[in-house]
Structure 1
Amino acid sequence: MSQRPPESPNTSPGLTLISYEGTPYRFDPGALCLELLPTGGPGAFARFEVLHEPADLVTWAGHSRLSAGLDLNVTEDELERARALRNTLFLLTADRAHGRPLQQRHLEVVNAAAALPPLVARLTPDGTRAWAPGATGTQLLSTVARDAIDLFTGLYADRIRECAAHDCFLLFVDTSRPGRRRWCAMEHCGNRAKVRAHRARKAP
């Protein structure tokens, strides 16, 4: 998985990731819950961990689809639960992407987080959405878990995929009209595949 955490706030959905070569590229996983996955993961993916302290989860939230002025306070316990939820979502999403049965123990983690109060949205005078001040990490995790439930039970549940590159494990939901997305990003894995295909055609 060739990524590091996003380096600057985004004005459009998705994250700015950094390849192993140090090249930034845009990755839009298509859902809030999937934006949490590149911050680390279970097993071998633990080496990508970036949520080391509560401030790191606050930073992630600011780069996510929730970034509209979210006033967030996160405790150490909430950070630990965030990593546990992320790891569970990683496994659930990978299972769904590969057509494997969803594990009950994973579903219980997501359902428990979703059962708690979520972030509170507010309508501003200019017609945009804002978040009620004093939000907690628990509310953030509930919102992420509810987004996952919406994704797994929604119209695009059958379009949850893993990047087609052999060395990339980024997960996304294909929300495009034709439904033919294969890569985490065309400018990253998509272009690499095109270059390999071109070289293969030119090879003697």
Structure 2
Amino acid sequence: MSRPPVTETKDQRRLGFPFRSGRISLDFVATVAKRDMNDREMITDGESLQTWLWVSGLPAAKDPIDESAVERARVLREAINRLTRARVDETRPVPTDVEILNEAAQRGVPFPKLDYDGLSVHPSAPVPVDQVLAIVARDAVELFSGKYHDRIRRCLGHDCSLYFVDRSRQGVRRWCSMAACGEKASSATYRKRHSGPA
């Protein structure tokens, strides 16, 4: 597969995929757009999964990625989604989701190699997709058990369904991105305050 160009807009979207959560595992959850609204699936086939891996900066998976591998990726993603929701809602996680995550995380992962210039990283050769997804799973394990486990938030943008990690000093961040949802909310509040009588 030839690599598509990586593009970034103001809200850091790359080829239509949002990357505003601050963690790769939550960015993976965001490959279902508008969750609980119209649930638009963005990982529709092996090529779209390969594209997401590329724009996210993860190692390449061996082509082709078949439908069974895509389904395993979705199963992992939805387990991470439910575990994230449980964390945000302060409810007990479902043991099956924990098992799915742990099983995915224990697979071998590709390792970066330092180039001979001593400064740059030589990308690993393509590996089976499950090994790449193990990086995502391990990120989720670290997130749920690490120092930011109580800083996972759901964006308060009215048409946004993204989760993000709040690294603000006071821990009061409300939006996945000020440039995306924050400015929309500020503009809507301004218009409401300054609108004349009907």
Q: Same fold (TM over 0.5)?
A: yes
Give the Cα–Cα distance (whole angstroms) in 1 for the partners of residues 92 and 42 of structure 2. 29
1:192 lines up with 2:189 in the alignment? no
Task: Pick the structure with more strand per residue.
Answer: 1
The runs of 4+ residues in structure 1 deviating greater than 6 Å are none
Alpha-carbon distance, 1:144 to partner: 0.7
* Aligned residues of 2:22 and 2:164 also touching (Cα < 8 A): yes
**1:175 — aligned with what?**
167
User: Aligned to 2:30, what secondary structure does the other structure show?
Assistant: helix
1:113 lines up with 2:104 in the alignment? yes
* Aligned residues of 2:8 and 2:14 also touching (Cα < 8 A): no
Give the Cα–Cα distance (whole angstroms) in 1 for the partners of residues 39 and 102 of structure 2. 27
Residue pairs, 1:137-156, within 5 angstroms: 137-156=129-148
Change (3 A) 1:30 1:10: farther
Change (3 A) 1:43 1:98: same
1:34 lines up with 2:26 in the alignment? yes
Give the Cα–Cα distance (whole angstroms) in 2 for the partners of residues 134 and 197 of structure 1. 48
Structure 2: give runs of 5+ residues left out of the alignment: none
User: Aligned to 2:113, what secondary structure does the other structure show?
Assistant: strand
Give the Cα–Cα distance (whole angstroms) in 1 for the partners of residues 135 and 182 of structure 2. 31
Change (3 A) 1:113 1:185: same
Q: 2:20 is matched by which residue type in structure 1?
A: D
* Aligned residues of 1:118 and 1:140 also touching (Cα < 8 A): yes
* Aligned residues of 1:159 and 1:173 also touching (Cα < 8 A): yes
Alpha-carbon distance, 1:165 to partner: 2.0
* Aligned residues of 1:96 and 1:160 also touching (Cα < 8 A): yes
**2:13 — aligned with what?**
16
* Aligned residues of 1:27 and 1:184 also touching (Cα < 8 A): no
* Aligned residues of 1:41 and 1:86 also touching (Cα < 8 A): no
**2:46 — aligned with what?**
54
Q: 1:9 is matched by which residue type in structure 2?
A: V
- For this pair of structures, how many residues does the alignment match? 189
Q: 1:100 is matched by which residue type in structure 2?
A: T
1:71 lines up with 2:60 in the alignment? yes
Alpha-carbon distance, 1:138 to partner: 0.8
Percentage of identical aligned residues: 33
Root-mean-square deviation (CA, aligned residues, Å) is 2.9
Structure 1: give runs of 5+ residues left out of the alignment: 1-6, 19-23
TM-score by length of 1: 0.80
Give the Cα–Cα distance (whole angstroms) in 2 for the partners of residues 201 and 77 of structure 1. 52
TM-score by length of 2: 0.82
**Which has more radius of gyration?**
2
Alpha-carbon distance, 1:97 to partner: 1.6
Change (3 A) 1:42 1:114: farther
Which of 78, 83, 91 is 1:87 aligned to? 78
Give the Cα–Cα distance (whole angstroms) in 1 for the partners of residues 7 and 166 of structure 2. 20
